[in-house]
Structure 1
Amino acid sequence: MTAARDALLAKVVAHYAEHGVRDTSLRSLAAAIGTSQRMLHYHFGSREDVLTAVIDAVAGGQAERIGRLFDEEPDRTAAGDLNWRKTVEGAEVFGALWFELATHAMRHEPYAARLGEVMVAAQVREFTRLYAERTTADKAARLARLTLAVGQGLIFGLLIDRDRDAADAAVEEFSGLVRRELEG
């Protein structure tokens, strides 16, 4: 990527994070972020290509971040707590955009197909890898999918009701359940 494309993508992501994607045309997006439609076409191509770039920018590195965090922190409980805090920080900025783009994937929009990989499959693989250190591959895969589902559900609720204390308490309870499963 070029520096100009990176800067333009940052403006696009910030705009969509604040206003949502909705049915924004490239013309109206360009006007809103202070560029031209031609520059968006030059750097990205179509509206769908812009949305693909947004998906990669916002969700693309999530699984790698999880892996690095757990690889660098030997205390799995501390790593899990930090993962939750980092996920909430990201959700406070990009959560509504994540969920809006998820509806695009649910509607099988071609540009959103990668979302299934970056928001589900890659994260399930990473949690499976971590859990497989302490249990069977099958159980690790089930716990990984459950972990992702609980985390995404709690983020969804937190974005709606803003009850951080309740979400934190639920994560703590769930983490205890996972620890007991892995110890048993």
Structure 2
Amino acid sequence: MANPREELLQKAIGYFAEHGVRDTSLRTLAAAIGTSQRMLHYHFGSREDLLVAVIESVIETDAKMLTELFANEPDPFEAGRENWRITAQHAQTFGALYFELSSHAMYGKPYAHDLGQAFVTRTQEAFEAAYTQLTDPKTARRLARLTLAVGQGLMFDMLVDGDRAASDAAIEEFIAMMRTHLGT
């Protein structure tokens, strides 16, 4: 039997991915995903607690995928290319939610306090570990931050202008530049 909390969480994530978080109340969300406000309160507490669960779920899924990619692919640039392919594909569904929740952190919403750790630090650490195979730790950290910024920027552009081909081409150029920079 499936976990009812997890089922509700996945439905909430799907709803927010399609409609955004905005000022959606638990009552509105419950009606939209086929449950009651009482069940959402029971499993998550407040709206803010539900948003924390959404953030944690999305981050955990992304972090696990990235860690597995770098663990299973010996060439970190190929792992990075595959990460971009998966990220660009997922961005079609979850990209706007990612940026909306990021803005909650920028506005200092208490439930989004740990987003910096989740959206930036954990992803940067995965890239840093990959670059450490190719260069010194200080350079690896700097290049990891650059890689994260390039990927996030291209994802943002792709979501705004819809030009996946241009973002794919830019990623290929970035990979070539990094290979040259690192002499690999």
Task: Return the offset for 1:70.
Answer: 1.4
Q: Answer whether contact 1:62 1:119 (CA < 8 A) is retained.
A: no
User: For 1:51-72, what per-residue CA distance to the aligned partner results, in whole angstroms no more than 9, with x for missing partners?
Assistant: 0011112222323321210110
Q: Which moved more, 1:3-12 or 1:61-70?
A: 61-70
Q: Does 1:11 align with 2:8?
A: no
Same amino acid, percent of matched pairs:
55
Other-structure match for 2:78: 78
Alignment of 1:31-180 (within 5 A): 31-180=31-180
Instruction: Point out where structure 2 has 5 or more consecutive residues left out of the alignment.
Output: none
Q: Which moved more, 1:76-85 or 1:42-51?
A: 76-85
Q: Which moved more, 1:106-115 or 1:57-66?
A: 57-66
Task: Return the offset for 1:25.
Answer: 0.9
- Secondary structure of the corresponding residue to residue 135 of structure 1: coil
Q: Which moved more, 1:71-80 or 1:144-153?
A: 71-80
Task: Return the offset for 1:126.
Answer: 1.1
Q: Answer whether contact 2:67 2:126 (CA < 8 A) is retained.
A: yes
Task: Return the offset for 1:76.
Answer: 2.8
CA distance in 1, matches of 2:36, 2:8: 11
CA distance in 1, matches of 2:118, 2:92: 19
Amino acid at match of 1:139: T
CA distance in 2, matches of 1:51, 1:60: 14
User: For 1:64-107, what per-residue CA distance to the aligned partner results, in whole angstroms no more than 9, with x for missing partners?
Assistant: 32121011012333222211111111111100000000000101
Runs (4+) off by over 3 Å? none
Q: Answer whether contact 1:62 1:118 (CA < 8 A) is retained.
A: no
Instruction: Point out where structure 1 has 5 or more consecutive residues left out of the alignment.
Output: none
Amino acid at match of 1:14: G
Q: Answer whether contact 2:76 2:130 (CA < 8 A) is retained.
A: no
Q: Answer whether contact 2:63 2:123 (CA < 8 A) is retained.
A: yes
CA distance in 2, matches of 1:80, 1:64: 14
Q: Answer whether contact 1:104 1:112 (CA < 8 A) is retained.
A: yes
CA distance in 2, matches of 1:178, 1:123: 18
CA distance in 1, matches of 2:183, 2:62: 27
Alignment length, in residue pairs? 183
Q: Answer whether contact 1:88 1:155 (CA < 8 A) is retained.
A: yes
Q: Answer whether contact 1:20 1:97 (CA < 8 A) is retained.
A: yes
**Considering only aligned residues, what root-mean-square deviation do their CA atoms show, in Å?**
1.3
CA distance in 2, matches of 1:76, 1:143: 13
